[in-house]
Structures are given as structure tokens and as C-alpha cells.
Amino acid sequence: MSELRHDPVQKRWVIIALGRSKRPKDFADIEVTSRKGTLASCPFCTGNEDKTPPEIFALRPDNSKPNTPGWKMRIIPNKFPALRVEGNLNRRGLGIYDLMDGIGAHEVIIETPEHCAHLGEMDIMDVFDIVKAYRDRIADLHQDKRLRYVQIFKNYGDIAGASLAHPHSQLIATPITPRTVATELDSAKEHYREKERCLFCDIINQELALHKRIVFTTEKFIALCPFASRFPFEIWLLPRYHFHDYSKTCDEDLMAFGEALKNILHRLRVALNDPPYNFIIHTSPNTSYRPGRPFYWETLPYDWHWHLEIIPRLTKVAGFEWGSGFYINPTPPETAAEFLRMVDS
Amino acid sequence: MSELRHDPVQKRWVIIALGRSKRPKDFADIEVTSRKGTLASCPFCTGNEDKTPPEIFALRPDNSKPNTPGWKMRIIPNKFPALRVEGNLNRRGLGIYDLMDGIGAHEVIIETPEHCAHLGEMDIMDVFDIVKAYRDRIADLHQDKRLRYVQIFKNYGDIAGASLAHPHSQLIATPITPRTVATELDSAKEHYREKERCLFCDIINQELALHKRIVFTTEKFIALCPFASRFPFEIWLLPRYHFHDYSKTCDEDLMAFGEALKNILHRLRVALNDPPYNFIIHTSPNTSYRPGRPFYWETLPYDWHWHLEIIPRLTKVAGFEWGSGFYINPTPPETAAEFLRMVDS
């Protein structure tokens, strides 16, 4: 069982994974992964369904059995989950400290049976299936009132933290709203309270007026390099229409999102020679839990605007960044956007 | 000239280094550094003083000229500084955004002329010289009222962001107090306001009572793995006596700090086979700037407690962490402290 521990200095929760506790020797040989792994040894490839925990969901022909070949996409629990759904939160204090048990969910979305596929180059209908699966898993987990936030993310490439090369994304549901998201929710709420306008809509409007950091726009989406990018080629992908909850997005809008996501990942791959990256969806917290915070949740549809953030992993994060939360970015977002614009989509 | 840009969503300042703007091709071949570089090619080695900007300070025999061999320690401006002292802050708005010019200081402390030395294995008097130099540089930069915070940090090893193998640490002075430090200052202030006790003194007392996460104690210092460690083998080194300002620490206490620092770095090297790491000193902001915030500064001697944080870089930071500010740590701090205790010091 993992523990969630609260740092009284940084006011930050940390997951201490007690179950798979690493001892010094475990760090001796760090596993190197490759995008050229063989099918036989890859637990996410067709034929190796027995090497993963039983599937939660799969796209497969009607007559095909669960956990057998023939699937187009599979969702499974993480084999080494950071958090588990079973049990109680058991919130408690320990002297000056606070902690609770590691309740939550940790799932893996195996995006395709094809070991060497790339989300930016897949058929658009396959990308559509993936972004729909994200939505449906969030909506399903939002029924559990203990879970306050569901985070969808993707680690692509060894440097970005992918421990397997086979195309996959992940989901972690936590019993608290993570701090980074909480900070954004607070900023957006403060902006709305003052101006009765959405902060993200304001950013989109200013970027459309300046046209210096936009990579592309479609009818429904905009891809831009944010003004205060922490990392070279950092990208935000936002719906141009105001909406707060990814899990309530309709098929038509998700199709437009899938197209925009494929477009930006393709540009990134071409412009930067297939770089490692992380992407993260920032969506609405789970509003099925309400006691004590009704006002907070009630304004969400007005002040919050879901979006996706992409962080290419081109530079190293060093002591200055860890110690300060301050970032040095050697590539202005204007330069990055210009390069990404020049790629044929 | 760099720019400091403010992210209106995360309320975070970012340094955009316009001067050395990186284009995609610059990321093509990432320079690999080694701890076995040759003396001739290393700008920090004796005989190559002309390969660095002129020294700000050096420990050298009385009759030896600046920027010539014979030194024991040198402090130089960073050749590619993220921030510069010359110029004005030029604070301004840009529509919804805020920015200012990249004013500050970025210096390198070359700890020794010996290319292959290790801070944990050096002569204690040499370590003493280094930690005294940290103090004196912070005190000197605190005379500049534009600079709000001086951060001392060390990147050790390629993975931890060291671009040169020669033993060195760095200093970056910024015109704002970095967010990570500001969060800690706020937590400590809130704790003091409520209890009239220092948060860090309370943590030290609880850890001394529990004795599960302490690596060692000396008369004046304590090394421990914090309760909510984000990373395996994360370590805090704190003075056991209450004091807020590293730059006002007396020689005697710095000698005790140097001994404790050498001790913990030695243990880390032995226990984890010379791992890459970052360390960061969290000290008092510059209080020479006072308008508008006198109360804030006036309580610092009571509520703030300087300390050093060490982050071994054993695991990869991936999408979940970047997106959430939430960390998954596979090694409980109790396990880490136990291993570090077993190393002969």
C-alpha cells in the first residue's frame, strides 16, 4: 500500500510507494528502453495479453474474447500502480505531519497494437478512438467520489520517462487535486471574479491579436507556444470555444481535438527529429464530491477552460530549477512557434 | 538581453534567454560531458584562466596575479549568463502579460583546481573555504537592492545538468524571490503566526523524537530524509540551532556546516555509487529592499530557518509530475535514511 504524505513546508502531497520500495542496488543498472524493442518481449504487443493485468476496456471485434489478440486499443491497470482503488483513504495526522493511504487509480492506455506507431502519424480515426477513450475513462472514474482529479498524460521516449517503447498513455486518479492544477484553477477563478471573463479565453484572444506565438489554428482549436514557456518548444493546445470539462466533450469536438493533436505531434516530430516529450491534459476536477466547496465547483463552467500541455524534453532540469521553481528557457516561444509553423502538416 | 516573463496562469516567472536563443538544430547533438575530461580542454583547470571571464574573487597567494595559475578557488561570471547585472529592470505590462528585463547575476564557483576532486572527499579546510565563499558572495550581492534573492546551487553529473565535469557550484541572483522559496517562507510565516514557533525547529524536534529518518546529527547540524520526500534519497541538512540567514553565519558555524556537508556527500557517493545530484541552499531573501514589506521582513529572524536540500537524480521526472506537481517516490525516506546511516563516515 502506498501512502500520500503532505509536506508541511511546500504544502505539497507526495506519493510514497511503500509496496515497491527501491533499495540502492535497484538504481545500479537503470533499464534502457528503445523504440525498436521486439514484439516477443513487449507486454503491450499483440499475443502478449497475458503479460498485463486483465483489461478494463478494449476496442475489439464483437466476437473476440477479452485479453486475447485482435484488439485495436486496450486499457489495463498499471502492473506496478502508484495508487490502488481498493481500501479507504484513512486520513490521519502524525505529529506535525499529515498522511493518507494511497487510494486512486493508475491505468495504461495501449494506443495501438503496432509497436512502432507514432500518435502524430496514425490514422485520424485511430487518434479519435484514443481521445474518446480518455474522455470515457475520466467520466467513469468521476463516479467515485473519493477521487478528486483524473490526470491523463503521455511519456514519449526514454528521457521523458517512458519505461516501455510501445505507444501508450497513462491515467492517474488522485484523492486530491494536484497542486499544479489547483494553482491554475485558482488563477482562473481570481481572473473571472475580477473581470467576469475566462483567463484562457483572454490569452487566446491576445495571442490571436499578436499572432507571434501561434503554431496553427483550426475552426475549433488553437496551438500556441505560451508567453512564459518554461521549456523550449513548450506548447498549449486549447479549444477556441470556452469549455471546462474534457470528460463532457462531445464526439464532434473530440474529433476536432484529435485532428489538432495529431497535427501538433507531427510538427514536433518533424521539426525536432522525433524528440522525447510529455503531454498532460488539464481538465475539470471531479465535481461529484461537493460538501463544503459548492461555490468553488459551481463557477467552474464559467472560469475554467480545459487544455493540453506539451513539454518536449530537450534541456536538462538542474539545481536552479529544482530549488527555485524558476526556469531558464533558451528558446523564445516566438522562435519555437515560427519553426513549428514552417512544418508541412 | 534576457527577459523575465510572468505566466498569468501558473503565476510563475520564467527567464527567456533571448541572447542565446536556441534554434532546433542546436538540440540535434546534445553535448555529452564526462568526469574524465582532460585538463587541456577544461576551462576551469589551472592554466586555462584566459578561457573564462575575469575572476570576481579568488583564493590565491598574495603575490599572484588575478587570472593566472596558483589559485585554490575562483569565482567567475558565467560565460553564458541567464541574467546580467547591467541595466534597468524596466518592469512593464504587455496586454494581459507582465515582463521585465533579465537583471541579476550568474556566477560560477570553481571549487578547486583539481579536475577530478569530489566535494565529499576534499580536505575539510577546502570545503570550509567554499562554504565561506558562498556566504561572502550572497552578502556582497545583498547590497544591490534590485536583487531580491541569491540562490546557491550545485549540479553534479551530466544527468543533474552539469555542463562541465570540473567541480563547481553556481549562484544566480534574481530580481524576484523564486516561487519555491516564497512558498516555504509563507508556510513558515503562517506556522509562526499561529504558534510562535519555527516550522523547521518543530520538524527537527519531531524527527529527533521519532529517529526514523535521521541520517546523522552533529553538535550543530542534522541531516535527514524528509517525511514527504519527492525523490529517492532526498536529504535536508539543517542547522539544529534556529537561524535564518546563511549570509550572516559566523565562521565557526560554517566550519560545522562544511563538515556536515562533506559527511553527507561522502555517504551519498558511497551508498549510491557516486550518483548525480543537485543541491540548493534555501536562505533568507535580501532584506536590503524594504518598501512596502517591512512586516514581512521583520519577522524573518523568528520564522525562517536556512537549510540545504540535496536531490540525487536517480529517477526520471515524467508527465505526471510535470502536469501535476505531484511526485511518486519509490523509496520511502525511512529506507533511504537507514542506508545512508550504514555508510562509514
Domain boundaries, chain A: 3-21+30-174, 179-341
For A9, the closest of B15, B174, B184 (CB atoms) is B184
- Give the span between the Cα atoms of B156 and B20, in whole angstroms: 23
Q: pLDDT digit string (tens) for A115-133?
A: 999 999 999 999 999 999 9
- When comparing pLDDT for A61 and B17, which is higher? A61
Q: List, edge to edge, every strand of the sheet that includes B12-16.
A: A327-329, B12-16, B3-7, B97-101, B92-94
- Inform me whether the pLDDT recorded for A36 exceeds 80: no
Write down the pLDDT at residue A7: 78
CB < 8 Å to A279, chain B: 319
- Decide the pairing of beta strands B12-16 and A327-329: parallel
CB < 8 Å to A227, chain B: 5, 7, 97
Q: pLDDT digit string (tens) for A285-308?
A: 998 876 666 556 788 999 999 999
- Give the span between the Cα atoms of A70 and A53, in whole angstroms: 17
Comparing alpha-carbon positions, the chain B residue that sits nearest to A17 is: B330
- Inform me whether the pLDDT recorded for A25 exceeds 70: no
Q: Do B324 and A199 touch (CB under 8 A)?
A: no
Confidence of residue A23 (pLDDT cuts 50, 70, 90): low
Q: pLDDT digit string (tens) for A77-117?
A: 998 888 888 888 888 988 889 889 989 999 999 999 999 99
Can A3-21+30-174 and A179-341 be said to share one CATH topology?
Answer: yes
Q: Which residues of chain B have pLDDT under 70?
A: 18-38, 290-296, 345
Q: Do B318 and A161 touch (CB under 8 A)?
A: yes
- Decide the pairing of beta strands A12-16 and B327-329: parallel
Size of the A and B interface in Cβ pairs below 8 Å = 280
Q: How many helices (H) and strands (E) does chain A have?
A: 8, 15
Q: Do A9 and B187 touch (CB under 8 A)?
A: yes
CB < 8 Å to B6, chain A: 228
Write down the pLDDT at residue A29: 38
Q: What are phi and psi of A104, to 5 degrees?
A: 165, -160
Find which of A322, A334, A335, A343 to mutate to test the B interface (most B CBs within 10 Å of its CB).
Answer: A322
- In 3D space, the residue among A259, A186, A324 whose CA is nearest the CA of residue B280 turns out to be A324
Residue A249 carries which DSSP code? -
CB < 8 Å to B150, chain A: none
For A331, the closest of B22, B151, B160 (CB atoms) is B22
Give ipTM to 2 decimals. Answer: 0.86
Fold annotation for B196-341: HIT family, subunit A (3.30.428)
Confidence of residue A63 (pLDDT cuts 50, 70, 90): confident
Q: Looking at CA atoms only, how far is residue B278 from chain A in angstroms?
A: 5
SS percent in chain A: helix, strand, coil, step 5: 30, 20, 50
Q: Do B329 and A23 touch (CB under 8 A)?
A: no
Q: Looking at CA atoms only, how far is residue B59 from chain A in angstroms?
A: 25
Q: Of A106, A166, A168, A305, which is the active-site residue?
A: A168
Fold annotation for A3-21+30-174: HIT family, subunit A (3.30.428)
Q: pLDDT digit string (tens) for A148-163?
A: 999 999 999 988 888 8
> What homologous superfamily does CATH list for A179-341?
HIT-like (3.30.428.10)
Write down the pLDDT at residue B33: 41
Comparing alpha-carbon positions, the chain B residue that sits nearest to A273 is: B28
- In 3D space, the residue among A306, A312, A280 whose CA is nearest the CA of residue A152 turns out to be A280
Write down the pLDDT at residue B22: 60
Confidence of residue A210 (pLDDT cuts 50, 70, 90): very high
Q: Looking at CA atoms only, how far is residue B54 from chain A in angstroms?
A: 23
Contact by Cβ (8 Å): A95, B206: yes
HEC states along A77-142?
A: ECCCCCCECCCCCCCEEECCEEEEECECEEEEEECCCCCCCCCCCCCHHHHHHHHHHHHHHHHHHC
Fold annotation for B3-28+37-174: HIT family, subunit A (3.30.428)
CB < 8 Å to A10, chain B: 180, 183-184, 187, 228
Most confidently modeled range among A11-15, A319-323, A329-333, B275-279: B275-279
Q: Do A320 and B96 touch (CB under 8 A)?
A: no
Residue B241 carries which DSSP code? S
- Annotated active-site residue A211? The verdict is no
- In 3D space, the residue among A329, A91, A110 whose CA is nearest the CA of residue A225 turns out to be A329
Give the mean model confidence (pLDDT) for residues A168-181: 91
- Inform me whether the pLDDT recorded for A274 exceeds 60: yes
For A322, the closest of B28, B174, B280 (CB atoms) is B280
Q: Do A5 and B227 touch (CB under 8 A)?
A: yes
